[in-house]
Amino acid sequence: MAEQTVHGEIEVGVGPVTPEDVVAVARHGRAVRLTDEARQALARGRAVVERLAARPTPAYGVSTGFGALASRHIPIEDRARLQRSLVRSHAAGSGSEVEREVVRALMLLRLSTLATGATGIRPETAQRLGDLLSHGLTPVVREHGSLGCSGDLAPLSHCALALIGEGEVRDATGTLLPAAEALEAAGLAPVELAAKEGLALVNGTDGMLGMLVLALEDLRLLLRTADVAAAMSVEAQLGTDRVFAAELQALRPHPGQARSAANLVRLLADSGVVASHRGPDCHRVQDAYSLRCAPQVHGAARDTVDHAAAVAGRELASAVDNPVVLLDPGEGADRGRVESNGNFHGAPVGYVLDFLAIAAADVASMSERRTDRFLDQFRSRGLPPFLADDPGVDSGLMIAQYTQAAIVSELKRLAVPASVDSIPSSAMQEDHVSMGWSAARKLRRSVDGLARVVAIEVLTASRALDLRAPLEPAPGTAAVVAALRAAGVGGPGPDRHLSPEIEIAVELVRTGAVVREVEEQIGGLD
């Protein structure tokens, strides 16, 4: 397992890096260090490649072309050029730059696979990839180019291109530089690729996996925030908390549902608003589904996240390359063989990326429905139309719900699976691909959209809770209202420029500030 050293570096060894390691390197700029065990594994794997490269018999990836060109045996004098040509030709991405955190995540995950020794790359080449991370040099990777089979070829090739001193990178300050210039400034020499090294650097599911790990981190936070938003909505719409009782949830024992319901019970405890209509005079039989069934939907999303995390964990423990070096136990340091395989196929990762986009769309859809109920005077139980100060003159939060609805509509389109849309490539040699990279890219948009939708619900519910005064909200939900007001989101009143307030709410959701405010009052949410 990867461990953090006293110097704050992330150690990369022969075991898998953790999701926490990925987040630390990708988002927080942590440096990395190869362990001695990893260097030994790299040396053993390389010895096998060197032995096979010296033989006259062709070995795929070592002394042959690639993909549909694998039948050509490449003479020794052309093999360095073969590796350079592979990297240059495969760095064929197009479109916008991929986010720095994604590129750093995929570089770390490629380094983790290299460190197993199963790719046959030289220790010094693996070290140089780690050097890029530690010096904050981020290769420019383009949005389009990966089919998610034979790995994320184009994105990884752009990273490999920087290793050989070509292409462009951004330094730690974000400045765009030619790779050769950035390497020189960091005191790093470009790599002269040897047999199989180009292939080892570009053949993996690291891009889609990195985006999956980052999305899981975000979704876990957003699902806790969605519980907070739902509690605020149940409270401000004078709903009941009795439907969230543990004995009712136990009748349908989905673990995520139980966790979400428990959060709602705790969030609504000691609410003066809820208590005001809990007595015998309350004749309301049932709340709308968007209120009553929040644990069922939020819980199903949680269970989907847990399933996706299990897949990510298995993938983090994988050595994805083709061909792969298999060492013969009990033999000499260079005894082993190189075998072709299909482990680069991104289907396991692509499927769960698509599953998560479906879950995100549905949680957002329910959030939007709760928001809409606040704005309709016939369903809001006494609140003014659109929560406006002077309805007719003021529009209140009418168009905030339009924004939510537009995002939710986009999330539904993004929920269409990418992983079923295979398209053949490489002269039909690669005749079924995963589209996992595309699934990951759209999931990032889904996560962003879900944060915005939940933020608008929180903003709307906070105004409604203010309008329920003098009734007092629960301690946790009151803390969220106070945090919004302190950050610059105003309470009820005449119309004002709303977009900046929405963006403040979005930032409070994204950074986890909403959940932190609640947890300071009532303890940790599950």
- 369: tokens are 């429905």
| Percent residues over pLDDT 70 in the chain | 95
pLDDT in the model for residue 59: 75
What burial class does residue 178 get, using C-beta atoms within 10 Å of its C-beta: 0-12 exposed, 13-18 middle, 19+ buried?
Answer: middle
pLDDT in the model for residue 427: 75
Which pLDDT band holds residue 280 (cuts at 50, 70, 90)? low
Strands (E), 37-145: 94-97, 138-139, 142-144
How far apart are alpha carbons 146 and 208 in whole angstroms?
10
Least confident window among 100-109, 140-149, 172-181: 140-149
- Give, as one character, the DSSP assignment of residue 434: -
Provide the b/e sequence for 58-84 (b: ≥16 CB within 10 Å).
Answer: ebbbbbbbbeeeeeeebeeeebeebbb
100 pLDDT above the threshold of 90: yes
Contact 458, 226 (CB under 8 A): no
Look-up: residue for tokens 């994320």? 152
How far apart are alpha carbons 337 and 68 in whole angstroms?
22
Type of residue found at 318: S
Q: Answer positive or negative: Cα dihedral of 202, 206, 208, 211.
A: negative
Report which secondary-structure segment, H or E, holds 514.
helix 513-522
pLDDT in the model for residue 68: 60
Contact 339, 324 (CB under 8 A): yes
For the full predicted model, state whether its pTM sits above 0.85: yes
Contact 179, 141 (CB under 8 A): no
Q: Per-residue pLDDT tens for 79-89?
A: 788 889 999 99
- 506: tokens are 């979005």
Quick one: which of 371, 343, 366 has its CA closest to 505?
371
Residue 60 appears among annotated catalytic residues: yes
Quick one: which of 193, 506, 235 has its CA closest to 370?
235
pLDDT in the model for residue 513: 98
pLDDT in the model for residue 284: 67
Contact 419, 149 (CB under 8 A): no
Report which secondary-structure segment, H or E, holds 458.
helix 436-467
What burial class does residue 168 get, using C-beta atoms within 10 Å of its C-beta: 0-12 exposed, 13-18 middle, 19+ buried?
Answer: middle
How far apart are alpha carbons 138 and 155 in whole angstroms?
12
4 pLDDT above the threshold of 60: no
CA 224 to chain centre: 16
Write down the catalytic residue from 60, 289, 351, 402.
60
Domain ranges of the chain: 10-204, 212-522
Provide the b/e sequence for 121-157 (b: ≥16 CB within 10 Å).
Answer: bbbebbbbbbbbbbbbbbbbbbbebbbbbbbbbbbbb
> What is the average pLDDT value for the chain, to the nearest integer?
93
How far apart are alpha carbons 372 and 387 in whole angstroms?
11
pLDDT in the model for residue 311: 98
285 pLDDT above the threshold of 90: no
357 pLDDT above the threshold of 50: yes
Beta bridge partners of 4: 10
Q: How many CA atoms lie within 13 A of 425 on its CB side?
A: 16
Please give the radius of gyration of the chain, using alpha carbons only, rounded to the nearest integer. 27
How far apart are alpha carbons 348 and 342 in whole angstroms?
12
How far apart are alpha carbons 58 and 96 in whole angstroms?
39
Query: In the 3-class helix/strand/coil scheme, how is 156-207 assigned residue by residue?
Result: HHHHHHHHCCCCEEECCCCCEEEHHHHHHHCCCCCCCCCCCHHHHHHCCCHH
Contact 44, 333 (CB under 8 A): yes
How far apart are alpha carbons 494 and 501 in whole angstroms?
14
> Helix (H, G, I), strand (E, B), or coil: what is residue 81?
helix
pLDDT in the model for residue 509: 98
* Fold for the domain defined by 10-204: Fumarase C; Chain B, domain 1 (1.10.275)
Beta bridge partners of 170: 138, 176
pLDDT in the model for residue 62: 77
Least confident window among 21-35, 137-151, 274-288: 274-288
422 pLDDT above the threshold of 90: no
70 pLDDT above the threshold of 70: no
282 pLDDT above the threshold of 80: no
How far apart are alpha carbons 308 and 211 in whole angstroms?
12
Q: Per-residue pLDDT tens for 403-421?
A: 999 999 999 999 999 999 8
- 469: tokens are 């005064």
pLDDT in the model for residue 2: 43
Which pLDDT band holds residue 148 (cuts at 50, 70, 90)? confident
How far apart are alpha carbons 211 and 230 in whole angstroms?
27
| 420-432 mean pLDDT | 80
- Pairing between strand 168-170 and 176-178? antiparallel
Look-up: residue for tokens 């933020």? 455
Q: Output helix, strand, coil percentages for the chain, rounded to the nearest 5.
A: 55, 5, 35
- Superfamily of domain 212-522 in CATH is Fumarase/aspartase (Central domain) (1.20.200.10)
Which pLDDT band holds residue 283 (cuts at 50, 70, 90)? low
Beta bridge partners of 34: 12
**φ/ψ (deg, to 5) at 394:** -100, 145
- Give, as one character, the DSSP assignment of residue 95: E
